[in-house]
Structure 1
Amino acid sequence: MARDFYEVLGVSRTASQDEIQQAYRKLARKHHPDVNKDPAAEERFKDLNEAYSVLSDPKTRARYDRFGEDFRKIPEDFDDRVAAGAGGGFRTRRTAGAGAGGPRVRYTTGFGDDFSAEDVNIEDLLGSLFGAGAGAGSAGVPGADQEAELPLTVEEAYKGGRRTVTLAGPTGQPRRYEVDVPPGVTDGQRIRLAGEGGRGSGAAPAGDLHLRVRIQPHPQFRLDGRDVHVQVPVTPWEAALGATVPVPTPGGTAKVTVPAGSSSGRRLRLRGEGMPNPRGANGDLYAELRVMVPPTLGDRERELFEELAATSSFDPRRTR
Protein backbone atom coordinates (compact mmCIF):
# COMPACT_ATOMS: atom_id res chain seq x y z
CA MET A 1 0.00 0.00 0.00
CA ALA A 2 1.37 3.40 -1.00
CA ARG A 3 2.27 5.80 1.80
CA ASP A 4 2.00 9.55 1.94
CA PHE A 5 5.54 10.86 1.37
CA TYR A 6 4.91 13.69 3.82
CA GLU A 7 3.99 11.14 6.49
CA VAL A 8 7.09 9.11 5.65
CA LEU A 9 9.28 12.13 6.44
CA GLY A 10 7.07 13.29 9.28
CA VAL A 11 6.52 16.78 7.90
CA SER A 12 3.42 18.78 7.01
CA ARG A 13 2.30 19.36 3.45
CA THR A 14 3.31 23.02 3.81
CA ALA A 15 6.84 22.19 4.97
CA SER A 16 9.66 24.23 3.44
CA GLN A 17 12.43 22.63 1.42
CA ASP A 18 14.83 23.16 4.33
CA GLU A 19 12.45 21.41 6.72
CA ILE A 20 12.13 18.47 4.33
CA GLN A 21 15.90 18.20 4.04
CA GLN A 22 16.43 18.35 7.79
CA ALA A 23 13.77 15.71 8.42
CA TYR A 24 15.31 13.39 5.85
CA ARG A 25 18.83 13.72 7.24
CA LYS A 26 17.64 13.02 10.77
CA LEU A 27 15.62 9.95 9.79
CA ALA A 28 18.21 8.66 7.31
CA ARG A 29 20.88 8.58 10.04
CA LYS A 30 18.46 6.76 12.33
CA HIS A 31 17.34 4.10 9.87
CA HIS A 32 20.46 3.57 7.77
CA PRO A 33 21.02 -0.23 7.54
CA ASP A 34 24.67 0.18 8.55
CA VAL A 35 23.55 1.77 11.82
CA ASN A 36 20.16 0.24 12.52
CA LYS A 37 20.16 -3.57 12.62
CA ASP A 38 16.39 -3.83 12.76
CA PRO A 39 15.25 -6.05 9.85
CA ALA A 40 12.65 -3.40 8.92
CA ALA A 41 15.23 -0.59 8.83
CA GLU A 42 16.32 -1.27 5.27
CA GLU A 43 12.74 -1.03 3.94
CA ARG A 44 12.15 2.07 6.00
CA PHE A 45 15.35 3.60 4.60
CA LYS A 46 14.17 2.91 1.04
CA ASP A 47 10.87 4.65 1.79
CA LEU A 48 12.74 7.66 3.14
CA ASN A 49 14.91 7.89 0.02
CA GLU A 50 11.89 7.64 -2.27
CA ALA A 51 9.97 10.28 -0.33
CA TYR A 52 12.94 12.63 -0.26
CA SER A 53 13.71 12.19 -3.97
CA VAL A 54 10.15 13.31 -4.76
CA LEU A 55 9.69 16.11 -2.23
CA SER A 56 13.17 17.60 -2.57
CA ASP A 57 12.53 18.50 -6.24
CA PRO A 58 10.04 21.43 -6.39
CA LYS A 59 8.67 20.35 -9.78
CA THR A 60 8.21 16.72 -8.80
CA ARG A 61 6.75 17.78 -5.46
CA ALA A 62 4.22 20.01 -7.23
CA ARG A 63 3.16 17.08 -9.44
CA TYR A 64 2.85 14.83 -6.40
CA ASP A 65 0.79 17.45 -4.57
CA ARG A 66 -1.46 17.71 -7.58
CA PHE A 67 -1.91 14.06 -8.57
CA GLY A 68 -0.99 12.11 -5.45
CA GLU A 69 0.34 8.58 -5.91
CA ASP A 70 -0.56 8.68 -9.62
CA PHE A 71 1.89 11.51 -10.35
CA ARG A 72 4.34 9.19 -12.16
CA LYS A 73 1.63 8.18 -14.63
CA ILE A 74 1.06 11.76 -15.72
CA PRO A 75 3.41 12.96 -18.52
CA GLU A 76 5.53 16.00 -17.73
CA ASP A 77 3.95 17.93 -20.62
CA PHE A 78 0.50 17.06 -19.28
CA ASP A 79 -0.86 20.61 -19.27
CA ASP A 80 0.44 21.39 -22.76
CA ARG A 81 -1.02 18.18 -24.17
CA VAL A 82 -4.33 18.72 -22.46
CA ALA A 83 -4.52 22.30 -23.71
CA ALA A 84 -3.97 21.00 -27.23
CA GLY A 85 -6.02 17.81 -27.03
CA ALA A 86 -8.87 18.66 -24.68
CA GLY A 87 -9.40 22.30 -25.51
CA GLY A 88 -7.72 23.42 -22.29
CA GLY A 89 -10.66 22.02 -20.33
CA PHE A 90 -8.87 19.42 -18.19
CA ARG A 91 -8.75 20.40 -14.55
CA THR A 92 -8.12 18.82 -11.19
CA ARG A 93 -9.83 19.35 -7.88
CA ARG A 94 -9.37 17.85 -4.45
CA THR A 95 -12.14 16.12 -2.56
CA ALA A 96 -12.49 15.46 1.14
CA GLY A 97 -10.94 12.34 2.62
CA ALA A 98 -7.19 11.91 2.47
CA GLY A 99 -5.97 8.68 0.94
CA ALA A 100 -2.61 7.01 0.84
CA GLY A 101 -1.15 9.64 -1.46
CA GLY A 102 -2.86 12.62 0.17
CA PRO A 103 -6.31 13.99 -0.71
CA ARG A 104 -8.12 12.21 -3.49
CA VAL A 105 -7.81 13.96 -6.83
CA ARG A 106 -10.61 14.18 -9.33
CA TYR A 107 -9.95 14.75 -13.01
CA THR A 108 -12.49 16.81 -14.89
CA THR A 109 -12.33 17.00 -18.69
CA GLY A 110 -13.77 19.63 -20.94
CA PHE A 111 -16.21 17.03 -22.24
CA GLY A 112 -18.24 16.82 -19.02
CA ASP A 113 -16.61 13.67 -17.65
CA ASP A 114 -15.56 13.48 -14.01
CA PHE A 115 -13.17 10.80 -12.72
CA SER A 116 -11.25 10.14 -9.53
CA ALA A 117 -7.89 8.45 -9.40
CA GLU A 118 -9.63 5.38 -7.98
CA ASP A 119 -12.26 5.28 -10.73
CA VAL A 120 -10.13 5.06 -13.84
CA ASN A 121 -6.75 4.02 -15.15
CA ILE A 122 -4.90 7.26 -15.78
CA GLU A 123 -3.07 5.93 -18.83
CA ASP A 124 -6.36 4.87 -20.39
CA LEU A 125 -7.80 8.28 -19.66
CA LEU A 126 -4.87 10.07 -21.25
CA GLY A 127 -4.99 7.77 -24.24
CA SER A 128 -8.65 8.57 -24.84
CA LEU A 129 -7.99 12.27 -24.54
CA PHE A 130 -4.95 12.39 -26.79
CA GLY A 131 -5.98 9.90 -29.45
CA ALA A 132 -3.78 6.98 -28.43
CA GLY A 133 -5.99 3.98 -28.95
CA ALA A 134 -9.04 6.23 -29.11
CA GLY A 135 -12.24 5.04 -30.67
CA ALA A 136 -13.88 6.40 -33.80
CA GLY A 137 -15.67 9.10 -31.83
CA SER A 138 -12.48 10.58 -30.39
CA ALA A 139 -11.94 14.25 -31.06
CA GLY A 140 -8.23 13.58 -31.64
CA VAL A 141 -5.38 16.02 -31.30
CA PRO A 142 -5.34 19.28 -33.28
CA GLY A 143 -2.46 19.63 -35.71
CA ALA A 144 0.57 21.66 -34.72
CA ASP A 145 1.08 25.17 -35.99
CA GLN A 146 4.00 25.50 -38.38
CA GLU A 147 6.15 28.41 -39.45
CA ALA A 148 8.12 29.24 -42.59
CA GLU A 149 9.84 32.33 -43.94
CA LEU A 150 8.39 34.49 -46.70
CA PRO A 151 11.13 36.51 -48.44
CA LEU A 152 9.95 39.79 -49.99
CA THR A 153 11.65 42.69 -51.70
CA VAL A 154 11.05 46.16 -50.32
CA GLU A 155 8.79 46.92 -53.29
CA GLU A 156 6.75 43.74 -52.77
CA ALA A 157 6.30 44.56 -49.09
CA TYR A 158 5.28 48.11 -50.01
CA LYS A 159 2.69 47.17 -52.61
CA GLY A 160 1.44 43.88 -51.17
CA GLY A 161 -0.79 41.71 -53.34
CA ARG A 162 -1.14 38.03 -54.13
CA ARG A 163 1.95 35.88 -54.23
CA THR A 164 2.54 32.22 -54.93
CA VAL A 165 4.78 30.53 -52.39
CA THR A 166 6.27 27.06 -52.79
CA LEU A 167 7.28 25.18 -49.65
CA ALA A 168 8.26 21.60 -48.89
CA GLY A 169 5.25 19.56 -47.76
CA PRO A 170 5.12 16.84 -45.05
CA THR A 171 6.34 14.20 -47.50
CA GLY A 172 9.08 16.39 -48.94
CA GLN A 173 7.07 17.17 -52.05
CA PRO A 174 6.68 20.88 -52.88
CA ARG A 175 3.38 22.52 -52.00
CA ARG A 176 2.13 25.77 -53.50
CA TYR A 177 0.23 28.36 -51.49
CA GLU A 178 -1.55 31.48 -52.65
CA VAL A 179 -0.77 34.23 -50.14
CA ASP A 180 -2.44 37.64 -49.86
CA VAL A 181 0.31 39.97 -48.68
CA PRO A 182 -1.12 43.13 -47.08
CA PRO A 183 0.50 46.39 -48.25
CA GLY A 184 3.14 47.68 -45.87
CA VAL A 185 4.09 44.44 -44.12
CA THR A 186 7.18 44.82 -41.98
CA ASP A 187 10.12 42.52 -41.39
CA GLY A 188 9.22 39.82 -38.87
CA GLN A 189 5.46 40.23 -39.30
CA ARG A 190 3.55 36.95 -39.61
CA ILE A 191 0.88 36.09 -42.15
CA ARG A 192 -1.47 33.31 -41.03
CA LEU A 193 -2.76 30.64 -43.38
CA ALA A 194 -5.53 28.92 -41.43
CA GLY A 195 -5.60 25.11 -41.62
CA GLU A 196 -2.39 24.82 -43.64
CA GLY A 197 -0.20 23.58 -40.77
CA GLY A 198 0.28 20.08 -39.39
CA ARG A 199 -2.54 17.59 -39.78
CA GLY A 200 -4.68 16.75 -36.77
CA SER A 201 -5.50 13.21 -35.68
CA GLY A 202 -9.02 11.85 -35.87
CA ALA A 203 -11.56 14.58 -36.46
CA ALA A 204 -9.36 17.32 -34.98
CA PRO A 205 -8.58 20.29 -37.22
CA ALA A 206 -5.23 20.96 -38.84
CA GLY A 207 -2.91 23.58 -37.41
CA ASP A 208 -2.12 26.90 -39.03
CA LEU A 209 0.83 27.87 -41.18
CA HIS A 210 2.49 31.14 -40.17
CA LEU A 211 4.65 32.83 -42.78
CA ARG A 212 7.18 35.16 -41.19
CA VAL A 213 8.05 38.04 -43.50
CA ARG A 214 11.74 38.53 -44.22
CA ILE A 215 12.43 41.68 -46.24
CA GLN A 216 15.53 41.24 -48.34
CA PRO A 217 18.43 43.74 -48.43
CA HIS A 218 17.93 46.41 -51.09
CA PRO A 219 20.61 48.26 -53.10
CA GLN A 220 18.89 51.63 -52.49
CA PHE A 221 16.49 51.45 -49.56
CA ARG A 222 17.13 50.83 -45.88
CA LEU A 223 14.13 50.18 -43.67
CA ASP A 224 13.71 51.26 -40.06
CA GLY A 225 10.27 49.99 -39.10
CA ARG A 226 8.01 51.74 -41.61
CA ASP A 227 10.47 54.55 -42.31
CA VAL A 228 12.55 54.31 -45.48
CA HIS A 229 16.05 55.75 -45.85
CA VAL A 230 17.60 56.44 -49.24
CA GLN A 231 20.68 58.29 -50.47
CA VAL A 232 20.14 60.95 -53.13
CA PRO A 233 23.11 62.13 -55.20
CA VAL A 234 23.16 65.85 -56.10
CA THR A 235 25.59 67.99 -58.07
CA PRO A 236 27.74 70.64 -56.39
CA TRP A 237 25.68 73.42 -58.00
CA GLU A 238 22.38 71.82 -56.94
CA ALA A 239 23.67 71.63 -53.40
CA ALA A 240 24.99 75.19 -53.50
CA LEU A 241 22.15 76.91 -55.34
CA GLY A 242 19.23 74.69 -54.31
CA ALA A 243 17.13 72.58 -56.63
CA THR A 244 14.20 70.21 -56.92
CA VAL A 245 15.43 66.70 -57.66
CA PRO A 246 13.78 63.30 -58.11
CA VAL A 247 14.08 60.78 -55.29
CA PRO A 248 13.25 57.06 -55.55
CA THR A 249 10.66 55.57 -53.20
CA PRO A 250 9.39 51.98 -52.92
CA GLY A 251 6.18 53.16 -54.61
CA GLY A 252 7.77 55.09 -57.46
CA THR A 253 9.50 58.45 -57.84
CA ALA A 254 8.86 61.55 -55.74
CA LYS A 255 10.32 65.07 -55.74
CA VAL A 256 12.36 66.67 -52.99
CA THR A 257 13.47 70.27 -52.65
CA VAL A 258 17.16 70.64 -51.88
CA PRO A 259 17.72 73.85 -49.89
CA ALA A 260 20.53 76.10 -51.08
CA GLY A 261 23.79 75.56 -49.21
CA SER A 262 23.19 71.86 -48.52
CA SER A 263 26.07 69.50 -47.84
CA SER A 264 26.49 65.74 -47.97
CA GLY A 265 24.78 63.99 -45.10
CA ARG A 266 21.87 66.41 -44.86
CA ARG A 267 18.59 64.52 -44.42
CA LEU A 268 15.35 65.68 -45.97
CA ARG A 269 12.08 64.22 -44.74
CA LEU A 270 9.21 63.30 -47.03
CA ARG A 271 6.27 62.75 -44.73
CA GLY A 272 4.12 59.70 -45.50
CA GLU A 273 6.33 58.46 -48.35
CA GLY A 274 7.60 55.48 -46.39
CA MET A 275 5.93 52.09 -45.97
CA PRO A 276 2.12 52.19 -45.85
CA ASN A 277 0.31 51.44 -42.61
CA PRO A 278 -3.24 50.06 -42.92
CA ARG A 279 -3.94 50.87 -39.26
CA GLY A 280 -2.46 54.35 -38.98
CA ALA A 281 -0.03 56.87 -40.39
CA ASN A 282 2.36 55.77 -43.11
CA GLY A 283 6.05 55.80 -42.47
CA ASP A 284 8.27 58.62 -43.69
CA LEU A 285 11.01 58.66 -46.28
CA TYR A 286 14.36 60.22 -45.37
CA ALA A 287 16.49 61.36 -48.30
CA GLU A 288 20.16 61.75 -47.40
CA LEU A 289 22.05 64.03 -49.75
CA ARG A 290 25.37 63.05 -51.27
CA VAL A 291 27.19 65.77 -53.16
CA MET A 292 28.88 64.22 -56.20
CA VAL A 293 31.51 65.77 -58.47
CA PRO A 294 32.09 64.86 -62.12
CA PRO A 295 34.61 61.99 -62.38
CA THR A 296 36.20 63.73 -65.35
CA LEU A 297 36.06 67.38 -66.41
CA GLY A 298 35.71 68.92 -69.85
CA ASP A 299 37.83 71.94 -70.74
CA ARG A 300 35.09 74.45 -70.00
CA GLU A 301 34.11 72.71 -66.76
CA ARG A 302 37.69 72.84 -65.60
CA GLU A 303 37.88 76.54 -66.36
CA LEU A 304 34.72 77.23 -64.35
CA PHE A 305 35.93 75.21 -61.37
CA GLU A 306 39.31 76.98 -61.51
CA GLU A 307 37.55 80.35 -61.62
CA LEU A 308 35.37 79.34 -58.67
CA ALA A 309 38.42 78.20 -56.73
CA ALA A 310 40.13 81.53 -57.34
CA THR A 311 37.05 83.56 -56.46
CA SER A 312 35.50 81.74 -53.48
CA SER A 313 36.70 82.33 -49.92
CA PHE A 314 34.92 79.20 -48.63
CA ASP A 315 37.16 76.85 -46.68
CA PRO A 316 35.35 73.78 -45.22
CA ARG A 317 38.39 72.93 -43.08
CA ARG A 318 38.54 76.29 -41.35
CA THR A 319 37.49 76.16 -37.71
CA ARG A 320 34.68 78.52 -36.92
Structure 2
Amino acid sequence: MQFKDYYDTLGVEPSAGEAEIKTAYRRLARKYHPDVSKEAGAEERFKAVNEAYEALRDPQKRTAYDQLRARGYRPGEEVQPPPGGFGGGQGYGGVDFEEIFAGGGAGGGFSDFFESMFGRGRARGGPGFQGRPRPPGDTRAKLAISLETVFQGGSVRIGINGKTLDVRVPKGVREGQVIRLAGQGEGGGNLLLEVEYAAHPQFEVDGRNIIHQLPVAPWEAALGATVSVPTLGGPVELKVPAKSEAGRKLRLRGRGLPGAPDGDQIVELEVLAPTPQDTAQTQAYEALRDAFGSDWRRA
Protein backbone atom coordinates (compact mmCIF):
# COMPACT_ATOMS: atom_id res chain seq x y z
CA MET A 1 0.00 0.00 0.00
CA GLN A 2 1.16 3.53 -0.72
CA PHE A 3 1.53 6.22 1.92
CA LYS A 4 -0.81 9.22 1.77
CA ASP A 5 -0.01 12.63 3.27
CA TYR A 6 -3.36 13.66 4.70
CA TYR A 7 -2.07 17.03 5.90
CA ASP A 8 -0.93 17.88 2.39
CA THR A 9 -4.31 16.79 0.99
CA LEU A 10 -6.09 19.29 3.25
CA GLY A 11 -3.41 21.97 2.79
CA VAL A 12 -2.65 22.29 6.52
CA GLU A 13 0.46 21.91 8.67
CA PRO A 14 0.88 18.83 10.91
CA SER A 15 0.56 21.19 13.88
CA ALA A 16 -2.91 22.37 12.75
CA GLY A 17 -5.63 22.36 15.37
CA GLU A 18 -9.04 20.74 15.11
CA ALA A 19 -10.76 23.98 14.02
CA GLU A 20 -8.22 24.64 11.26
CA ILE A 21 -8.54 21.10 9.93
CA LYS A 22 -12.34 21.36 9.93
CA THR A 23 -12.24 24.71 8.12
CA ALA A 24 -9.88 23.36 5.45
CA TYR A 25 -12.06 20.28 4.95
CA ARG A 26 -15.26 22.29 4.54
CA ARG A 27 -13.63 24.69 2.08
CA LEU A 28 -12.21 21.90 -0.10
CA ALA A 29 -15.32 19.72 0.14
CA ARG A 30 -17.44 22.60 -1.12
CA LYS A 31 -14.95 23.28 -3.91
CA TYR A 32 -14.78 19.70 -5.21
CA HIS A 33 -18.26 18.42 -4.41
CA PRO A 34 -19.41 16.45 -7.51
CA ASP A 35 -22.76 18.26 -7.53
CA VAL A 36 -21.04 21.64 -7.72
CA SER A 37 -17.57 21.41 -9.26
CA LYS A 38 -17.00 21.20 -12.99
CA GLU A 39 -13.22 20.74 -12.63
CA ALA A 40 -11.58 17.64 -14.08
CA GLY A 41 -10.90 15.07 -11.41
CA ALA A 42 -13.16 16.82 -8.88
CA GLU A 43 -14.79 13.58 -7.71
CA GLU A 44 -11.43 11.96 -6.92
CA ARG A 45 -10.26 15.08 -5.10
CA PHE A 46 -13.52 15.09 -3.14
CA LYS A 47 -12.95 11.47 -2.06
CA ALA A 48 -9.34 12.24 -1.09
CA VAL A 49 -10.42 15.23 1.01
CA ASN A 50 -13.09 13.14 2.78
CA GLU A 51 -10.57 10.38 3.53
CA ALA A 52 -8.03 12.85 4.91
CA TYR A 53 -10.62 14.44 7.17
CA GLU A 54 -11.86 11.07 8.44
CA ALA A 55 -8.28 10.21 9.42
CA LEU A 56 -7.43 13.53 11.11
CA ARG A 57 -10.70 14.50 12.80
CA ASP A 58 -10.60 11.59 15.22
CA PRO A 59 -7.87 11.92 17.91
CA GLN A 60 -7.16 8.17 17.99
CA LYS A 61 -6.85 7.88 14.24
CA ARG A 62 -4.73 11.02 14.02
CA THR A 63 -2.34 9.78 16.71
CA ALA A 64 -1.94 6.45 14.92
CA TYR A 65 -1.40 8.20 11.59
CA ASP A 66 1.15 10.64 13.07
CA GLN A 67 3.11 7.70 14.49
CA LEU A 68 3.39 6.18 11.02
CA ARG A 69 4.11 9.52 9.34
CA ALA A 70 6.98 10.15 11.78
CA ARG A 71 8.83 7.27 10.13
CA GLY A 72 9.54 9.62 7.21
CA TYR A 73 7.32 8.19 4.49
CA ARG A 74 6.67 10.31 1.40
CA PRO A 75 3.41 10.36 -0.63
CA GLY A 76 3.25 7.34 -2.93
CA GLU A 77 6.02 5.48 -1.11
CA GLU A 78 5.33 1.86 -0.22
CA VAL A 79 4.54 1.48 3.48
CA GLN A 80 6.16 -1.32 5.45
CA PRO A 81 3.75 -2.58 8.15
CA PRO A 82 5.10 -2.71 11.69
CA PRO A 83 6.25 -6.15 12.99
CA GLY A 84 3.28 -8.49 13.25
CA GLY A 85 1.15 -6.41 10.90
CA PHE A 86 -1.26 -3.69 11.95
CA GLY A 87 -2.71 -5.69 14.85
CA GLY A 88 -5.74 -7.89 15.40
CA GLY A 89 -8.56 -5.53 14.50
CA GLN A 90 -6.83 -2.64 16.25
CA GLY A 91 -5.10 -0.85 13.40
CA TYR A 92 -1.75 0.88 13.69
CA GLY A 93 -0.85 2.24 17.11
CA GLY A 94 -3.49 0.18 18.95
CA VAL A 95 -6.63 1.94 17.78
CA ASP A 96 -9.26 -0.46 19.08
CA PHE A 97 -12.15 -0.45 16.64
CA GLU A 98 -13.43 -1.71 13.34
CA GLU A 99 -15.42 0.58 11.09
CA ILE A 100 -18.03 0.05 8.42
CA PHE A 101 -19.18 2.95 6.30
CA ALA A 102 -22.63 2.93 4.78
CA GLY A 103 -25.29 5.17 3.30
CA GLY A 104 -23.11 7.24 0.98
CA GLY A 105 -21.84 10.68 2.00
CA ALA A 106 -18.30 11.03 3.25
CA GLY A 107 -17.98 7.38 4.20
CA GLY A 108 -17.35 5.72 0.87
CA GLY A 109 -14.46 4.85 -1.39
CA PHE A 110 -11.55 4.89 1.08
CA SER A 111 -8.11 3.75 -0.06
CA ASP A 112 -6.29 0.55 0.87
CA PHE A 113 -3.94 2.70 2.95
CA PHE A 114 -6.81 4.01 5.10
CA GLU A 115 -8.43 0.60 5.42
CA SER A 116 -5.19 -1.14 6.37
CA MET A 117 -4.38 1.48 8.98
CA PHE A 118 -7.75 1.57 10.68
CA GLY A 119 -9.12 -1.94 10.31
CA ARG A 120 -11.85 -1.38 7.74
CA GLY A 121 -10.25 -3.95 5.43
CA ARG A 122 -11.05 -6.64 8.01
CA ALA A 123 -14.61 -5.46 8.46
CA ARG A 124 -15.14 -5.80 4.72
CA GLY A 125 -13.34 -9.14 4.53
CA GLY A 126 -10.75 -7.54 2.24
CA PRO A 127 -7.25 -8.93 1.58
CA GLY A 128 -4.07 -7.95 3.30
CA PHE A 129 -5.30 -7.45 6.86
CA GLN A 130 -3.02 -9.37 9.17
CA GLY A 131 -5.28 -9.75 12.20
CA ARG A 132 -5.69 -12.55 14.73
CA PRO A 133 -8.95 -14.51 14.40
CA ARG A 134 -11.50 -13.64 17.06
CA PRO A 135 -13.20 -16.31 19.16
CA PRO A 136 -16.93 -16.91 18.59
CA GLY A 137 -19.19 -14.40 20.26
CA ASP A 138 -20.60 -10.95 19.71
CA THR A 139 -18.80 -8.85 17.11
CA ARG A 140 -18.75 -5.13 17.70
CA ALA A 141 -18.16 -2.54 15.00
CA LYS A 142 -18.88 1.11 14.32
CA LEU A 143 -21.28 1.96 11.53
CA ALA A 144 -20.75 5.42 10.02
CA ILE A 145 -24.00 6.59 8.43
CA SER A 146 -24.54 9.64 6.22
CA LEU A 147 -26.73 12.40 7.61
CA GLU A 148 -29.09 11.96 4.66
CA THR A 149 -29.74 8.37 5.75
CA VAL A 150 -30.24 9.49 9.36
CA PHE A 151 -32.76 12.08 8.14
CA GLN A 152 -34.74 9.74 5.88
CA GLY A 153 -34.18 6.32 7.42
CA GLY A 154 -33.98 3.27 5.18
CA SER A 155 -31.68 0.37 4.43
CA VAL A 156 -27.92 0.45 3.89
CA ARG A 157 -25.68 -2.28 2.53
CA ILE A 158 -22.45 -3.24 4.28
CA GLY A 159 -19.79 -5.87 3.86
CA ILE A 160 -18.37 -7.68 6.90
CA ASN A 161 -16.75 -11.06 7.55
CA GLY A 162 -16.96 -11.81 3.83
CA LYS A 163 -20.73 -11.30 3.76
CA THR A 164 -22.96 -8.59 2.34
CA LEU A 165 -25.74 -7.48 4.68
CA ASP A 166 -28.64 -5.06 4.38
CA VAL A 167 -29.07 -3.10 7.61
CA ARG A 168 -32.32 -1.25 8.37
CA VAL A 169 -31.52 2.19 9.77
CA PRO A 170 -34.37 3.81 11.74
CA LYS A 171 -35.24 7.40 10.86
CA GLY A 172 -33.56 9.75 13.33
CA VAL A 173 -31.15 7.13 14.70
CA ARG A 174 -28.88 8.63 17.38
CA GLU A 175 -25.11 8.46 17.62
CA GLY A 176 -24.11 5.74 20.04
CA GLN A 177 -27.26 3.72 19.38
CA VAL A 178 -26.54 0.03 18.73
CA ILE A 179 -28.15 -1.92 15.89
CA ARG A 180 -28.16 -5.65 16.63
CA LEU A 181 -28.04 -8.25 13.87
CA ALA A 182 -28.63 -11.67 15.40
CA GLY A 183 -26.30 -14.44 14.25
CA GLN A 184 -24.31 -12.24 11.85
CA GLY A 185 -21.15 -11.90 13.94
CA GLU A 186 -18.04 -14.07 13.87
CA GLY A 187 -18.63 -17.70 14.76
CA GLY A 188 -22.41 -17.26 14.66
CA GLY A 189 -22.53 -14.61 17.38
CA ASN A 190 -24.44 -11.36 17.16
CA LEU A 191 -23.21 -8.34 15.19
CA LEU A 192 -23.51 -5.15 17.25
CA LEU A 193 -23.22 -2.00 15.15
CA GLU A 194 -22.64 1.23 17.06
CA VAL A 195 -23.93 4.17 15.03
CA GLU A 196 -21.81 7.22 14.35
CA TYR A 197 -22.46 10.06 11.93
CA ALA A 198 -20.17 10.30 8.91
CA ALA A 199 -18.55 13.68 8.27
CA HIS A 200 -20.53 15.85 5.88
CA PRO A 201 -19.13 18.59 3.61
CA GLN A 202 -22.07 20.95 4.20
CA PHE A 203 -23.47 20.22 7.66
CA GLU A 204 -22.39 19.80 11.27
CA VAL A 205 -24.47 18.24 14.02
CA ASP A 206 -25.33 19.85 17.35
CA GLY A 207 -27.68 17.48 19.16
CA ARG A 208 -30.73 17.33 16.90
CA ASN A 209 -29.85 20.60 15.18
CA ILE A 210 -27.96 20.87 11.91
CA ILE A 211 -25.44 23.70 11.42
CA HIS A 212 -24.77 25.07 7.94
CA GLN A 213 -22.49 27.92 6.92
CA LEU A 214 -24.02 29.86 4.04
CA PRO A 215 -21.76 32.01 1.83
CA VAL A 216 -23.45 35.31 0.88
CA ALA A 217 -22.16 38.24 -1.14
CA PRO A 218 -21.62 41.62 0.56
CA TRP A 219 -24.57 43.15 -1.27
CA GLU A 220 -26.85 40.26 -0.24
CA ALA A 221 -25.91 40.80 3.39
CA ALA A 222 -26.26 44.59 3.18
CA LEU A 223 -29.44 44.83 1.07
CA GLY A 224 -31.16 41.56 1.92
CA ALA A 225 -31.86 38.70 -0.48
CA THR A 226 -33.69 35.43 -0.93
CA VAL A 227 -31.21 32.60 -1.49
CA SER A 228 -31.37 28.84 -1.93
CA VAL A 229 -30.08 26.87 1.07
CA PRO A 230 -29.30 23.14 1.10
CA THR A 231 -31.03 21.04 3.76
CA LEU A 232 -31.12 17.30 4.38
CA GLY A 233 -34.60 17.28 2.86
CA GLY A 234 -33.62 19.26 -0.24
CA PRO A 235 -33.00 22.95 -1.02
CA VAL A 236 -35.30 25.63 0.43
CA GLU A 237 -35.54 29.40 -0.02
CA LEU A 238 -34.25 31.53 2.85
CA LYS A 239 -34.77 35.26 3.31
CA VAL A 240 -31.58 37.02 4.40
CA PRO A 241 -32.57 40.22 6.23
CA ALA A 242 -31.01 43.53 5.17
CA LYS A 243 -28.06 44.81 7.22
CA SER A 244 -26.96 41.29 8.14
CA GLU A 245 -23.40 40.76 9.29
CA ALA A 246 -21.04 37.80 9.10
CA GLY A 247 -21.85 35.28 11.81
CA ARG A 248 -25.56 36.09 11.97
CA LYS A 249 -27.59 32.94 12.61
CA LEU A 250 -30.93 32.23 10.99
CA ARG A 251 -33.18 29.31 11.94
CA LEU A 252 -35.04 26.89 9.68
CA ARG A 253 -37.46 25.20 12.08
CA GLY A 254 -37.93 21.46 11.79
CA ARG A 255 -35.17 21.08 9.21
CA GLY A 256 -32.75 19.28 11.54
CA LEU A 257 -32.61 15.61 12.48
CA PRO A 258 -35.91 13.84 13.26
CA GLY A 259 -36.80 13.39 16.93
CA ALA A 260 -39.24 14.42 19.59
CA PRO A 261 -39.23 17.26 18.79
CA ASP A 262 -37.48 17.52 15.43
CA GLY A 263 -34.31 19.55 15.36
CA ASP A 264 -33.78 22.80 13.46
CA GLN A 265 -31.25 23.85 10.86
CA ILE A 266 -29.13 26.82 11.97
CA VAL A 267 -27.80 28.83 9.04
CA GLU A 268 -24.74 30.92 9.87
CA LEU A 269 -23.96 33.65 7.36
CA GLU A 270 -20.46 33.80 5.91
CA VAL A 271 -19.92 37.04 3.97
CA LEU A 272 -17.56 36.46 1.05
CA ALA A 273 -16.33 38.96 -1.54
CA PRO A 274 -16.21 37.34 -5.00
CA THR A 275 -13.11 37.99 -7.10
CA PRO A 276 -13.85 40.39 -10.00
CA GLN A 277 -13.70 38.61 -13.35
CA ASP A 278 -13.86 41.52 -15.80
CA THR A 279 -13.58 45.30 -16.12
CA ALA A 280 -17.21 45.97 -15.20
CA GLN A 281 -16.90 44.04 -11.94
CA THR A 282 -13.62 45.76 -11.10
CA GLN A 283 -15.26 49.15 -11.66
CA ALA A 284 -18.13 48.11 -9.40
CA TYR A 285 -15.65 47.45 -6.58
CA GLU A 286 -14.00 50.79 -7.25
CA ALA A 287 -17.39 52.50 -6.97
CA LEU A 288 -17.96 50.78 -3.62
CA ARG A 289 -14.54 51.91 -2.42
CA ASP A 290 -15.29 55.51 -3.40
CA ALA A 291 -18.77 55.40 -1.84
CA PHE A 292 -17.69 54.00 1.54
CA GLY A 293 -14.30 55.70 1.82
CA SER A 294 -11.38 54.56 3.96
CA ASP A 295 -13.14 54.96 7.33
CA TRP A 296 -15.73 52.20 6.86
CA ARG A 297 -14.04 49.98 9.51
CA ARG A 298 -14.66 52.64 12.17
CA ALA A 299 -18.34 52.70 11.31
TM-score by length of 2: 0.50
Structure exhibiting the larger radius of gyration computed from Cα positions: 1
Q: Kindly indicate whether structure 1 or structure 2 has the higher relative contact order, using CA contacts under 8 Å at least 6 residues apart.
A: 2
Higher-strand-fraction structure: 1
